[in-house]
Every structure is written in C-alpha cells, then in structure tokens.
Amino acid sequence: MRWHRIRYQSVIYLHIYWPTFSLKPPIHDPQVLLGPGIGLDCAVVDGGAKLWVIKSDPITFVTDEIGWYVVQINANDIATTGATPRWLMATILLPEQRTTATLAERIHQQIYTACQEINVSLIGGHTEITYGLDRPIVVGTLIGEVARDSLITPRGAKPGDRILLTKSVPIEATAILAREYSEQISQALTPDELTQARGYLYKPGISVLRDAQLASQAGQITAMHDPTEGGLLAALWELAQASNCQLMIDLEKVPISDLSAQICQVFEVDPLAAIASGALLLTAPKRDATSICRTLIASGIPCCEIGEVKSGKATVWSRSALGRKPLPCPSRDAIAKVISP
C-alpha cells in the first residue's frame, strides 16, 4: 500500500503516513500476511496453494485512455511482488452533465483491451453517473497470484544490495503533460517531439510488468517498487522506510531522457519528484545485479545501477565525489503545481 493520500482537485498534493493516525489498522485475520504500511503497495492474503496479492488504485487526473491506465497502474504494483495479475474489478464514476453512452462504452473498451493484453479477467465492478464530478474517475481492484517462495516485498532490501532502475524518469509525467497541456509546450517542442512525448504512455510505456518478470527470472530480487506519485524521490523514501535501511544514490546515474528534461523545464518541474510510472526500482545482491541489468538490456529494456543499500536509519542520500547530502522526500508530486499553481 502506498502512503495514504489526500487529493485536492485532480492531483495528489500531500502524502500522509499511517503512523500519523492514532488508530491501528484493524487486521485480525491470520490469513492476512501483509497489510498496510509505508511503501507497501499491495496486501497479501494466504490463499492456500498460492498467495493472493491484492491492489486497489484510482485514476483521478488522467481522462485520456483512463480505462487503459487503471489496468496498467494496478498491474504494476502486482508485478512488483513477483505475482501474476489475474482478476480485475473496476468502479467507473461518470460526471452528471458530461456523460454519453459513447464515453461509457469507450472507457469499458479500454479496460477490456488492456486486460486482454496482459491476460487479466475482468470479473465485475460498478458503473454510475455521479453528481459533483467534472471528469470520469475509475478505480481498479486487481488480484494476483504468487507462489509462497516467490513473494517479493519492499521490506526485503538488505545492506549491500545494489539499487537498479529500468528505463528512465519521469515517463508518466512526460506523457501526462504532453497529453493534457500540449498547447503550453507546443512552442518548446517540434510537432514530432510532441507526438513522441504523448506516445510515452506506450513507448517506453508506463507498464513495468515485463520489466519485473524478466528481472525476476534473471537473478535474485530482494525488493521491487514502482515510482508513482512523488516520482523517484518518493519511491526511494518509501523503499528506505519499508526496508528500514539507508539508500545511497548516485544522481548522475539516474536516466532522464532529453524529451522528459525539456518538458519538465518548460513547467519548471523537478523530474526526480514527478509521477514516474514506467520505471521499475529494484534491489538485488551485488552478485545478481549485473546479470539482471544485462538480461533487461538484451530484452530491449534499459537498466542501470543507481546506488546501494546501506545499514542505518531509514534515509535517502545523494553521494558524489564531493561527499554525500540528504535527499528530501517530496510533500506533493511535482506536477501538482502545473494543475493548481
């Protein structure tokens, strides 16, 4: 489960930790093997022969391809546990004054198509027209399966592990800004560059399902996490707190595409703190890190080592030849100021 989040308008502004609340989550069922916690995106329930991994996440800002989005975002978190996504339920809330049969059918078709692409079964859900909305909202709950000895959680990162990152950051922010604010950036990009940025949704893509599957086959993975709200910085802090370790990061090694850098510069957005689905953050013992990188690269997925897990209090540091300095945890996603300055 990610940090609890307060949403204002259509984007996440603030992350709130479970420890902020005085009440402890009421979990009394011994079949619940993993419940809510910082950096824990999924629940894990003992399903008998296999473990069930359960994830629920809403899509509240994006309107273009929202049905496709809800499948990918939930599948990403399932994938980071080593599980296979299996069954989806979707709740679709539609605006009172702006809903047509075509809109509802389009969202449903997007969900169906996305499920077919990754062999997920849509098993139910709910659709309604709701007052007070100015855009569609879609919430997905996805269930996956994993063998008992194959479960991976962010708590597994150990001192000495290498920190790897696939693709680049921030893929999702690049796609969102290009799709939702194309007029604002049209002066800074050529038409071809704008088309390419809009296409970041699919290439390099916001899915990490294949990344996670290939990495798991290539060597021992101790932890996986996908950088979403708050970008890479928030994901690193979530990983540090879930594993109770220090993370030492070489910022100069973090891949940021030229196109992403251009778009972030237009909006004065920190690319390290912007929503970054599409990249996979993972840790592995030193002996496995090289082979995992090689396997991913050979399969067409860029991957590089960006740091190391150290023992000590859960913190995130930037290290360089000049020494080290603490990296802040974002209080809100960097693209929030674009939506509501």
Q: Which residue has the tokens 């198509």?
A: 113
The burial of 119, by beta-carbon neighbours within 10 Å (0-12 exposed, 13-18 middle, 19 or more buried), is given as exposed
Q: What is the pLDDT of residues 159-174, one digit of tens each?
A: 999 999 999 999 999 9
Over pLDDT 90: what percentage of the chain? 83
Local confidence band at 9 (pLDDT 50, 70, 90 cut-offs): very low
Residue 39 binned pLDDT confidence (cut-offs 50, 70, 90): confident
pLDDT band at residue 28 under the 50/70/90 scheme: confident
Residue 5 has pLDDT above 90, yes or no: no
Q: What CATH number was assigned to the domain covering residues 4-150?
A: 3.30.1330.10
- E-state strands within the chain: 4-8, 11-16, 32-34, 43-46, 51-59, 84-95, 121-130, 137-146, 162-166, 223-225, 246-249, 281-284, 303-310, 315-320, 323-326
**Residue 223, pLDDT above cutoff 60:** yes
**Residue 116 identity (one-letter amino acid):** Q
* Cβ-contact 267, 340 below 8 angstroms: no
Span 13-29, mean pLDDT? 55
Closest-CA residue to 168 (of 227, 229, 230): 227
Q: Which residue has the tokens 């891949």?
A: 255
Q: How sure is the predictor about 71, in pLDDT bands with cuts at 50, 70 and 90?
A: very high
Structure tokens that stand for 56 in this block = 């629920």
CATH 3.30.1330.10 boundaries in the chain: 4-150
Quick check: 7 pLDDT over 80? no
Q: Is the pLDDT of residue 16 over 50?
A: no
Torsion from C-alpha of 114, 117, 123, 124, nearest 10 degrees: 10
Pick the CATH number of 154-339 from 3.40.50.300, 3.40.50.720, 3.90.180.10, 3.90.650.10: 3.90.650.10
Average pLDDT of the chain is 91
Pairing of strands 137-146, 84-95: antiparallel
Residue spans in the chain of domains classed CATH 3.90.650.10 = 154-339
- Give residue-wise pLDDT tens across range 293-323: 999 999 999 999 999 999 999 999 999 988 9
- Contact criterion met (CB below 8 Å) for 125 and 115: no
Cα–Cα distances (Å) from 67 to 90, 92, 246, 261, in that order, read 9, 9, 37, 28
**Contact at 8 Å (CB) between 270 and 206?**
no
Alpha helical stretches, state H, the chain: 66-79, 101-117, 171-180, 182-185, 191-198, 209-218, 231-243, 258-266, 286-298, 336-339
In 242-251, which positions are buried (b, 16+ CB within 10 angstroms) versus exposed (e)? bbebbbbbee
CA–CA–CA angle 191, 110, 186 (5° rounding)? 15
Q: Is the pLDDT of residue 277 over 50?
A: yes
Strand partners, 56: 141
pLDDT given for residue 341 in this prediction: 64
pLDDT tens-digit series, residues 178-219: 998 999 999 999 999 999 999 999 999 999 999 999 999 999
* C-alpha Rg value of the chain to the nearest Å: 19
pLDDT confidence band for 23 (50 / 70 / 90): low
In this prediction, residue 60 has a pLDDT band, given cuts at 50, 70 and 90, of confident
* Terminal-residue alpha carbon distance, the chain: 28
Q: By C-alpha distance, which of 112, 198, 181, 226 is closest to 339?
A: 181
44 vs 336: CA distance, rounded Å: 31
Predicted local confidence at residue 25, as pLDDT:
73
